[in-house]
Structure 1
Amino acid sequence: MHRAVRYRVSMPRPHTHLLEVEASFPGGASVLDAVMPVWTPGSYMVREFARQVQDMTAHAPDGTLLPVRRADKRTWRVDAKGVAVTLRYRVYANELTVRTNHLDGSHAYFNGAATFLYTEDTRGLEHHVTVDAPSGWRTFCALGQRANTFVAQDYDELVDSPFEVGPHTPLTFSVEGVPHEVVVWGDTVQDPERLCADLKRICECQARVFGGLPMPRYLILLYLTDRGRGGLEHKASTALLFPRVGLSTNRGWEDLLTLVAHEYFHLWFIKRVKPRALVPFDYAKENYTSLLWAFEGSTAYYDNLFVRRAGLMSAQRYLTRLGETLTALHATPGRRVQTLAEASLVSWVKHYRPDENSPNSAISYYLKGEVVSALLDLEIRRATGDARGLDDVVRVLWQRYSDGSGVPEDGVEAVASEVAGVDLTPFFDRALRTTQPLDYSVFSHVGLELNFRPREAASDKGGTPPRNRAGEGKPKGWLGVTTRGSGTVAVVMDGSPAQDAGLYVEDDLVALNGWKVDGATLLSRCEERRPGETVRLTVFRRDRLLEIPVVLGTKPAEAAWLSRVERPTDAQKAAYQAWLGSPWEESPGQS
């Protein structure tokens, strides 16, 4: 028989949320150590998938039970005596995220890292999966098939190929002759034709950058839920979590398109061209790289840009969204504490494990990485007279490292300088390795300038000029907290009046100057007052009623927006059009 690792996954009792798994390993080892990954590629946090495994037994080919014991948190050790071993176990699957497993009466979704034991000795063999689906359910996976078995060339490909099982009818479209499927769970898409048409345009734009597609088929698994948003990229598929109510609004639809554009770009930029530190994956522990800013931040920059290039977002709307990103960056005090390179390196304990102090102590490599990627694109365009840009950087990286060898830690910087024709080390030193403010002067190359103003409401994301022109010059009182629920303090900003006065996270706000407030009215009541005024905040702290005087500060100008220069040169107009594909004279339209 062909030497391979074979799995069978069944779900005879979906309401128990238990996947039943058989894992059969070829003979040869006297002792077999079967292990579970502690993390899954694309999500840089130790998640301890072994915690969901139960009821482990080991069997010889004739069905005889073999001794099996737990060697450590992720290892089951079998006294194999050289024979082939079949392990039978159950995996609890009741966590609906793109990184974990979920089984109920409506479907099953499972990821390789959270489901399949492996051994280091057999990791490079083919891995075959047979799924016993309930009657009326179909199995969807991007892996190729032989008869009714899904075949992965090795364990890494298996981990990179999630499964969805359910009574679904997929949506389909084609990009450059490559079939694409969209499988939706949780609700129906009211306009499936529009969804397929829009996704096709975005995918085609990306394929043109790289000269074609790197896979024979592609699968989009879309999970519509009451809350939550996120995605996880895979070698020939993606899993997406998205709020179902978002599909009913133009902004929500746009957001879904940017999410798909983000994960699709990863086909090239992280799944095939990846940091050398991730080659090969070590599933037993953290894999450290300082390049996540490039692979995730640049992808975040491109997700909006490709929706724009596909003609599904106006140029002005794109600039508004970029302004919202800049606002989020400048509203994060942690940008003055953590460098972008460090944010990439310690994502394992920072980005994926946020707490109430994270805004004060850390910066997202997605967020700042997107801004730095935009500035890098413009720096290269300025240096080359718009002959080259970030597209050329990712193309060169694709040409050199698509063989899976991995990009060295200085590889992105070296290629960017090569493409630009100038040494970009000063740019990278400042952007990646210091907490100095970024240099935004390069926006002038495309006739834009960056402006800042105070936020006008708690929901103000920035990106647009001030709406309340009448009160534009009037300073507003500032407390410096964010709240959740009916008024529980969630974050106290570093250096804020609230911090100076001794307001704590988890304080329950009751009143301001004796009058009842909640999370929304608190901030507006503070803004009605002038900086320097003292207000009395009444709070419950661990069930004790306290009154805390706070001297209000001046609300910071952290909401950013990009405006056009008043007298653009012909060169600026041409550079703007080369960047965003829209004539300068075109009406800005609505943001």
Structure 2
Amino acid sequence: MIRSIAYLCVLCLMTVFVQAQQIAYTVTPVQADSPYFKVELSYSGSHTDSLEFHLPAWTPGYYQLMHYAAAVRNMHAQDGTGHSLTCRRSGENSWRLYTRGNTVFTLQYEVRATRPFVAANFLAADRGFISPAGMFLYPAGGIGHPVKLTIHPAAGWTQVATGLEPVKGQAYSYTAASFDELYDSPILMGQLETLPSFEVDGKLHSFVAYQPGNFDKAAFMQDLQGIVSVAAAIMRDLPYKHYTFLGIGPGRGGIEHLNSTAVGFDGSQLDKREERIRLYHFLAHEYFHHYNVKRIRPIELGPFDYEHGSKTRLLWLSEGFTVYYEYLVVRRAGFTTREEVLQALQKNIHAYESKPGHLLQSVADASYNTWHDGPFGAGDSSISYYDKGPVLGAMLDLQIRHNTRNRYSLDDVMRALYREFYQQKGRGFTEAEFRATAEGIAGGSLAEWFDYVNTVKPPDYKRYFGYAGLDVDSNFAIRPRASMDTLQAAILKDWLR
């Protein structure tokens, strides 16, 4: 009993200590020949002689080292009375501050912002974009600390948009429950335009963009509402309070976040049907990621290794399956035909089969090696999980439908992963746990299908697509057979409804 009381006392003291530590950031854009953001970190509650601060080397969602620390300059520190403190670089992505016993101090530095990309920081005369992992230092061991952030927009800028929670009564001030949440919340600011918002299941969805162009914005947002509604119907849950699409300008880059996505956006693409469908696929992909990879995630993708990168063999699932679901979501929303979905899968098969690397590298290895090879492969010895992943998704979907006489599908697998590992266990899943979930719903072994994941065994496209009464010829064209049985017809109808 005495030991239990002592343990509780220690916990209480630790709680008070953590609560006493306060971390707040202030960011000011500086428009110069070499534009940069001025960053000030206010820290109180330190009880050590020195503190080490780190800047992530990458940002989740973009599986490449970004070397953000190279853009940091002019770092200096002061105590609470304005006296200088020593701050020295201690590693490629870290700095050590010597507090001299001070419990309150500020750390100031600048971040060059010259790259207009969703994983980078950018600043121009009329807009700024912050990829938070590339801007905000975290104290060693302090990823879980809550953070307050205040933005000082440049004169004439009309808006700041982010998924962060605003502080009531304080303009341009936001809170994050942890640095993980802060790094997962990009920030767009400047002379922006807000498109008509909509609600799905009572949750507000906004689209804020830089120079989105001239198009029917009400019609576009109505279509986007249809995409969001279909995705929500698949997963049967909307786990956020609100969601924000951030259109950073022209380009196709996109990164997913828990309650937002940053995307390259140009509304002029909406004039032609082909370009409009490509854009809808892109937005559906980034949106569906808030389920698949942000919440339905491989166990390696959280907690993140911000210094070295978090490697996983499952990006064929996180990225490849999301490509597959972008096809399904846009189809179920009524914007594409069954034939267009088949054509998209046909292109994926052809892209995979035409690479010499398909004889050398499994899609699981391609996932793990993306940090070196890139997401689309490198040279003739590798492949892209964006090519093979969606085809594997379709094949697994059809196998499950065939095994269960069309009672279950890949949707049930995704919902099961979401329910068990995100909602109930609050963690990611292992490769073995994914396999157990898929085989449990399929009602039997999926050994052959998993061979296509882990080896370079040639996929039997004819058999798997044959479950839906489809044929695959030598050029990988996917077409309906002249005749099909009742089960095949039902699978085809429900699969691409």
TM-score by length of 1: 0.77
Q: Which residue in the other structure is 2:341 paired with?
A: 318
Shift of 1:35: 1.0
Alignment of 1:166 with 2:185, yes or no, is: no
Q: Label 1:86 to 1:56 Cα distance change in 2 as closer, same or farther (>3 A).
A: same
Aligned to 1:16, the other structure's residue is in SS state coil
Shift of 1:55: 0.7
Bigger drift between 242-251 and 35-44 goes to 242-251
Q: What is the CA deviation profile of residues 215-248 of structure 1, one whole-angstrom value per residue up to 9, with x for unaligned ones?
A: 01111012332xx422100011001124665333
Q: What is the CA deviation profile of residues 361-387 of structure 1, one whole-angstrom value per residue up to 9, with x for unaligned ones?
A: 111112111111110110111100010
Aligned to 2:321, the other structure's residue is in SS state helix
* Equivalent of 2:80 in 37, 44, 61: 61
Bigger drift between 382-391 and 146-155 goes to 146-155
Shift of 1:62: 1.2
* Equivalent of 1:97 in 117, 122, 130: 117
Q: Label 1:343 to 1:301 Cα distance change in 2 as closer, same or farther (>3 A).
A: same
Shift of 1:359: 4.2
Q: Which residue in the other structure is 1:142 paired with?
A: 163
Alignment of 1:253 with 2:273, yes or no, is: no
* Equivalent of 1:70 in 89, 92, 114: 89
Alignment of 1:387 with 2:407, yes or no, is: yes
Shift of 1:3: 3.4
Following superposition, which runs of at least 4 residues in structure 1 exceed 6 angstroms of deviation? none
Alpha-carbon distance between aligned partners in 1 of 2:297 and 2:284, rounded to the nearest angstrom: 18
Q: Label 1:28 to 1:121 Cα distance change in 2 as closer, same or farther (>3 A).
A: farther
Q: Which residue in the other structure is 1:126 paired with?
A: 146
Q: Label 1:264 to 1:187 Cα distance change in 2 as closer, same or farther (>3 A).
A: closer
Shift of 1:13: 2.4
Aligned partner letter, 1:255: R
Note if contact 1:44-1:286 (Cα within 8 Å) is conserved in structure 2. Answer: yes
- The number of residues matched between the two structures is 469
1:124-273 alignment runs, 5 A limit: 124-137=144-157, 138-146=159-167, 147-148=169-170, 149-171=173-195, 172-225=197-250, 228-242=251-265, 246-273=269-296
Aligned partner letter, 1:167: Q
Alpha-carbon distance between aligned partners in 2 of 1:405 and 1:298, rounded to the nearest angstrom: 19
Alpha-carbon distance between aligned partners in 2 of 1:415 and 1:82, rounded to the nearest angstrom: 53
Q: Which residue in the other structure is 1:286 paired with?
A: 309
Aligned partner letter, 2:418: W
Alpha-carbon distance between aligned partners in 1 of 2:294 and 2:20, rounded to the nearest angstrom: 28
Q: Which residue in the other structure is 1:19 paired with?
A: 37
Q: Which residue in the other structure is 1:483 paired with?
A: none
Alignment of 1:432 with 2:456, yes or no, is: no
Q: Which residue in the other structure is 1:46 paired with?
A: 65
Aligned partner letter, 1:7: Y
Note if contact 2:320-2:393 (Cα within 8 Å) is conserved in structure 1. Answer: yes
Alpha-carbon distance between aligned partners in 1 of 2:52 and 2:191, rounded to the nearest angstrom: 37
Greater per-residue helix proportion: 2
Aligned partner letter, 2:431: E
Q: Superposition RMSD on alpha carbons, in Å? A: 1.6
Note if contact 2:255-2:263 (Cα within 8 Å) is conserved in structure 1. Answer: yes
Shift of 1:351: 1.9
Aligned partner letter, 2:177: Q
Q: Label 1:189 to 1:267 Cα distance change in 2 as closer, same or farther (>3 A).
A: farther
Note if contact 2:212-2:265 (Cα within 8 Å) is conserved in structure 1. Answer: no
Alpha-carbon distance between aligned partners in 2 of 1:81 and 1:24, rounded to the nearest angstrom: 16
Shift of 1:14: 5.6
1:279-428 alignment runs, 5 A limit: 279-352=302-375, 358-403=378-423, 404-428=426-450
Alpha-carbon distance between aligned partners in 1 of 2:384 and 2:400, rounded to the nearest angstrom: 24
Percent identity of paired positions between Structure 1 and Structure 2: 33
Aligned partner letter, 1:579: W
Shift of 1:329: 1.5
Q: Which residue in the other structure is 1:561 paired with?
A: 477
Shift of 1:255: 0.8
* Equivalent of 1:275 in 298, 301, 305: 298
Alpha-carbon distance between aligned partners in 2 of 1:342 and 1:326, rounded to the nearest angstrom: 18
Note if contact 2:405-2:487 (Cα within 8 Å) is conserved in structure 1. Answer: no
Q: What is the CA deviation profile of residues 67-106 of structure 1, one whole-angstrom value per residue up to 9, with x for unaligned ones?
A: 1111111111111133223111110011011100110001
Note if contact 2:58-2:306 (Cα within 8 Å) is conserved in structure 1. Answer: yes
Alpha-carbon distance between aligned partners in 2 of 1:312 and 1:244, rounded to the nearest angstrom: 17
Q: Which residue in the other structure is 1:512 paired with?
A: none
Alpha-carbon distance between aligned partners in 2 of 1:412 and 1:220, rounded to the nearest angstrom: 30
Q: Label 1:14 to 1:168 Cα distance change in 2 as closer, same or farther (>3 A).
A: farther
Q: Which residue in the other structure is 2:492 paired with?
A: 576
Q: Label 1:287 to 1:573 Cα distance change in 2 as closer, same or farther (>3 A).
A: same
Bigger drift between 115-124 and 372-381 goes to 115-124
Q: Which residue in the other structure is 1:461 paired with?
A: none
Q: What is the CA deviation profile of residues 249-295 of structure 1, one whole-angstrom value per residue up to 9, with x for unaligned ones?
A: 21111111111111111111111222111231111102121111111
Shift of 1:567: 1.6
TM-score by length of 2: 0.91
Q: Which residue in the other structure is 2:473 paired with?
A: 451
Bigger drift between 29-38 and 74-83 goes to 74-83
Gaps in structure 1 of 5+ consecutive residues? 454-559, 582-591
Shift of 1:121: 3.1
Q: Label 1:164 to 1:431 Cα distance change in 2 as closer, same or farther (>3 A).
A: same
Aligned partner letter, 2:442: A
Q: Which residue in the other structure is 1:497 paired with?
A: none
1:507-586 alignment runs, 5 A limit: 560-581=476-497
Note if contact 1:218-1:236 (Cα within 8 Å) is conserved in structure 2. Answer: yes
Which of the two has higher C-alpha Rg? 1
Aligned to 2:139, the other structure's residue is in SS state coil
Q: Which residue in the other structure is 2:11 paired with?
A: none
Note if contact 1:15-1:103 (Cα within 8 Å) is conserved in structure 2. Answer: no
Alpha-carbon distance between aligned partners in 2 of 1:299 and 1:321, rounded to the nearest angstrom: 13
Alignment of 1:29 with 2:55, yes or no, is: no
Alpha-carbon distance between aligned partners in 1 of 2:292 and 2:126, rounded to the nearest angstrom: 34
Alpha-carbon distance between aligned partners in 2 of 1:365 and 1:327, rounded to the nearest angstrom: 13
Aligned partner letter, 1:11: P
Alpha-carbon distance between aligned partners in 1 of 2:30 and 2:480, rounded to the nearest angstrom: 62
Alpha-carbon distance between aligned partners in 2 of 1:352 and 1:376, rounded to the nearest angstrom: 22
Q: Label 1:415 to 1:130 Cα distance change in 2 as closer, same or farther (>3 A).
A: same
Q: Which residue in the other structure is 2:15 paired with?
A: none
Note if contact 2:296-2:421 (Cα within 8 Å) is conserved in structure 1. Answer: yes
Aligned to 1:284, the other structure's residue is in SS state coil
Q: What is the CA deviation profile of residues 456-486 of structure 1, one whole-angstrom value per residue up to 9, with x for unaligned ones?
A: xxxxxxxxxxxxxxxxxxxxxxxxxxxxxxx
Alpha-carbon distance between aligned partners in 2 of 1:352 and 1:23, rounded to the nearest angstrom: 35
Alpha-carbon distance between aligned partners in 1 of 2:345 and 2:429, rounded to the nearest angstrom: 28
